[in-house]
Amino acid sequence: MTDESHDEHAEEHEQPPREEFGHDPIGHADVRDGMSVGELVDQYGEAGIGAADLNAAVDIYAEMLGDDDVTNFFGLAGAMVPTGMRKIVADLIRDGHIDVLVTTGANLTHDAIEAIGGKHHHGRTHGEGTMREHDEQLRDEGVDRIYNVYLPQEHFALFEEHLRSKVFPEVEETVSIQRLTEELGRANAEVNENEGIDEGAGVAAAAYENDVPIYCPAIQDSVLGLQAWMYSQTTDFALDALGDMTPLTDLAFDAEKSGAMVVGGGVPKNFVLQTMLVAPDSYDYAVQLTMDDEQTGGLSGATLEEARSWGKIEKAGRNASVYADATITLPLVVAAARERIGE
Known catalytic residues? 312
Helix (H, G, I), strand (E, B) or coil at 283: strand
3-state secondary structure 235-276: CCCEEECCCCHHHHHHHHHHCCEEEEEEECCHHHHHHHHHHH
* Full DSSP string of 76-124: E-SSTIIIIIHHHHHHHHHTT--SEEEE-HHHHHHHHHHHTT---EE--
**What is the rounded CA–CA span in Å between residue 87 and residue 95?**
12
**What is the rounded CA–CA span in Å between residue 332 and residue 125?**
25
**What is the rounded CA–CA span in Å between residue 201 and residue 247?**
26
**Is-contact 337 61, C-beta < 8 A?**
yes
**What is the rounded CA–CA span in Å between residue 166 and residue 183?**
9
C-alpha to C-alpha distances, 44 to 31, 51, 56, 190, nearest whole angstrom: 10, 5, 9, 43
**Is-contact 203 194, C-beta < 8 A?**
no
Count CB atoms within 10 A of the CB of residue 51: 17
